[in-house]
Amino acid sequence: MASRAETLMVDLFRRRALIGLGEIHWCPAVMEAITALLENPALEGTFDDIVVEFGSARHQAWLDRYIGGEDMDDTGLEAVWQDTLYFLLWSPPVYADFFRRLRAANLKRASRYRVRVILAEPAIDWETLDAEGFVRWHEQREGAYAERVEQEVLERGRRAVLVFGLRHLTHHSLPDASYEPLAERLVKRYPGIIELIHPYHGEKGVFSGDHLFLDVRHNGLMLPAASEFSSGPAMIDHIWYLGDLERRIALPDALFADTTWLATIVARLQRLGETHIARARRLMTAPQRAIFDDGLTRYRSDVQKGPVT
C-alpha cells in the first residue's frame, strides 16, 4: 500500500535504527526531494542524525557547529564537499543547499530535536594524494562508511537517515559490483537494522525486478518494493515515485568562474594523471572544456618553469 513519505518514515523509525534514502547523482530533483523530506516538521524527533556521502570528515567539527545552529556564516562550507575524492560529483548546488536548509530547519527546532549531519568520507589529504592513493581510498570507502555509521550512530544508540548513492544502499551486492555495499555490511553485523528506499527512475531502475510488476506511479508516495511476483532476495524495501526524473550530467558554470577553485581542480587532476583528466573533461560542456584546458596548459607551463628564485 502506498504511503506518504513522512508517514512511512515515522513508522519505520519505530522499528529500525537506520533508514537508507538512495540518491541519484546528476538528478537534482531527487536530492531536492530528500532535503524537503528531512526538513519536514512531521519528522521532528524521529531521528537524530543524517549520514551523507558528500562530505569529508576532515570538516566534521566545523559542520557540527554550523548545522547545530551556532551564530556563524557559511564561510568554509564549500570545503566540506570540495575535499572529497569525487569533488566534481558534488559541485551541483543541491548539495550545498542541503546543508544550508538543514541548518535553517535546526534553528526552528528545540535544541533536543536538532539533527546532526555526519560526513561519511574519511579525511583524505589532497596535498599528498596521487593516483595510487586515490585507488586505495576508493577501494576502502565502503568499509569506512560502515565504520563511520557504527561509531557515530549505532554505538551511541542513535537513529539515522543514510543519504548515499543507490549502489551503496542495497541489501545484497549487485552482480557487477566489485565491492560489498554499505547497507549489506551493516545488515551482516546488525540484522534488521535498516530499511532501504530508492527513488524510481526509468534509466537507473531501483535494483529490484519487483518494480516491473508494480504500479509505481503514485506521485510523491512510497510503496513496498516486494510483491507476489518477487523472485530472489529483495535488494531494497520501498520505492519512492517522484515523477519522471531527468538525469543529466552537467557541471555548473560557476565552478569555472571561480578561478581559485578551478586552479585547485586542475592541480589535483594533474597529480592524479591523464585518466582522471579525461574523465573530468567528459563531464564538461565545450565552453567549460576550453576554460579547463587553458588552465591546465598554464599550470603545466608554470610547473615546467619551476619556482621563481
Round to whole Å and give the CA distance between 101 and 69.
11
Predicted local distance difference test score (pLDDT) of residue 57: 97
DSSP letter at 225? S
The pTM (predicted TM-score) of the whole model is 0.94
Predicted local distance difference test score (pLDDT) of residue 143: 96
Predicted local distance difference test score (pLDDT) of residue 176: 72
Round to whole Å and give the CA distance between 29 and 39.
16
**Interhelix angle 28-38/5-12, nearest 10 degrees:** 60
* Lookup result for grid cell 567528459: 282
| 54 phi and psi angles, rounded to 5 deg | -95, 55
Residue 190's nearest CA partner among 226, 153, 161, 165 is 153
Predicted local distance difference test score (pLDDT) of residue 307: 61
Label residue 289 exposed, middle or buried (CB < 10 Å: 0-12, 13-18, 19+): middle
Dmax over CA atoms of the chain, in Å, equals 75
Number of H helices, E strands in the chain: 11, 8
Q: What is the pLDDT along the chain (309 residues), one digit of tens a residue?
A: 789 999 999 999 999 999 999 999 999 999 999 999 999 999 999 999 999 999 999 999 999 999 999 999 999 999 999 999 999 999 999 999 999 999 999 999 999 999 999 999 999 999 999 999 999 999 999 999 999 999 999 999 999 999 999 999 999 887 777 789 999 999 999 999 999 999 988 777 666 555 655 666 778 899 888 654 445 578 899 999 998 888 899 999 999 999 999 999 999 999 999 999 999 999 999 999 999 999 999 999 988 776 644
Round to whole Å and give the CA distance between 232 and 121.
32
Predicted local distance difference test score (pLDDT) of residue 229: 44
- Rg of the chain taking only CA atoms, in angstroms: 20
Round to whole Å and give the CA distance between 301 and 125.
25
**Interhelix angle 286-305/274-281, nearest 10 degrees:** 150
Residue 246's nearest CA partner among 94, 30, 22 is 30
**Residue 117 corresponds to which cell in the numbers above?**
549531519
Predicted local distance difference test score (pLDDT) of residue 228: 44
